[in-house]
A and B are shown apart, each in its own frame.
Chain A
């Protein structure tokens, strides 16, 4: 190779978002959460800190939780992305949503989508968990209403159904 190719400011991506194939041209600097919110108008993915601390922007990439703010839209090329919009109302995710509402775990709602996605990843393992283990797993998601007890109650109630101890 004589002269190595230099980079691009815009990148063509093909991403499967909530089961739908999306083709788009994104800016190199755009992170996945902004892509979902601004280009696809999927505003259920929230942005809090934008440096990976708060967990509000959590989405699933190929089935595993990831920070939407610490992943570039360009890196999502060829990946399956699931957001709160896509999972809403189905299976264990719906049970979590019901439990969050029933046990007052939503409060202001800002952290809720991220909490639900992280909880969904844990619940999907179908392994009985103690409250401390649930707390540990959710520790990367912050709730500024500080309603953590209710959130852990909600996740524990769903886990007790899907993975009885």
Chain B
């Protein structure tokens, strides 16, 4: 199908974009890469009255690579996460995550800020942002503010963004030596939405695990740290009994729903299998 009738505006600045969005509140939607939004419009799953095209705003493109603090502009495209040597060095998890997203043509257009603001529970980047302890830089009609990624995702496709607010950038602490980053997911075909996926960020000292953060996607309603699973792993030697304790905790953190083609029980089983595989990678050779 094709998108319903709609109006369009291309503001010249971030400030103007925020004002327009605030003014039109429920009726306006920001358009960045459009890889989820335009599909939703074509399928008539969404019917906003006004598209506010922020896709060319230079203010949302600026990225900087400080020694410990990496700032990626909201319009950073998925293919840039895959292709950038700077990103690969400072945030090795992100190119691995981007490789799971859609296909080449989608990755060329889709954006980091768009993925976070859309807050699809099956998306990889929200889970990465939470696992890495990222901070979301938000621009709005009332000025700028920052929010921890852990507090940003408030529900199923819901975020803490207020009317008129946009993600301007995402700040990540640079990867530290000795911390292992793992991402894995299961989907019917590569590029499809994940049925179950997880991200682990775990400081490792030999077999001893430091304060680990595990975030699931696909089998949850939002990106958030899986508390019980993370606790079962943190501060332990990675022995067989730790692995079993972590696997046992999966059911405490996750309560997936039945969805067409996938029973909740199946998703939970897949999440446990993925967790087991990911734990094996923590002590493996890869960083």
| Residues of A participating in the B interface, judged by any CB pair closer than 8 Å | 1, 3-9, 11, 27-29, 31, 34, 50-52, 55, 58, 61, 64-67, 69-72, 74-75, 77-78, 118, 121-122, 136-137, 139-141
Contacts and interface: CB of A to CB of B under 8 A. Distances in A.
B84 interface: no
A28 B6 CA distance: 6
B42 A3 contact: no
A8 B50 CA distance: 8
Main secondary structure of the interface of A (DSSP, over half): mixed
A121 B55 CA distance: 22
A50 B1 contact: yes
B243 interface: no
B158 interface: no
Contact of B103 (A6, A28, A31, A55): A55
B155 interface: no
B52 to A, nearest CB: 8
B8 A28 contact: yes
A106 to B, nearest CB: 20
A121 B3 contact: no
A28 B51 CA distance: 9
Interface string B107-138: 01100000000000000000000000000000
Contacts, number: 123
Contacts of A72: 8, 31, 34, 38, 51, 53
Contacts of A11: 8, 10
Contacts of B189: 139
A77 B10 CA distance: 10
Nearest to A63: B108
B103 A139 contact: yes
B188 interface: no
A124 to B, nearest CB: 12
A9 B9 CA distance: 9
Interface in B19-63: 19-20, 22-24, 28, 31, 34-35, 38-39, 41-43, 49-53, 55-56
A5 B6 CA distance: 15
Given A51-B43, A139-B189, A121 B104 contact: yes
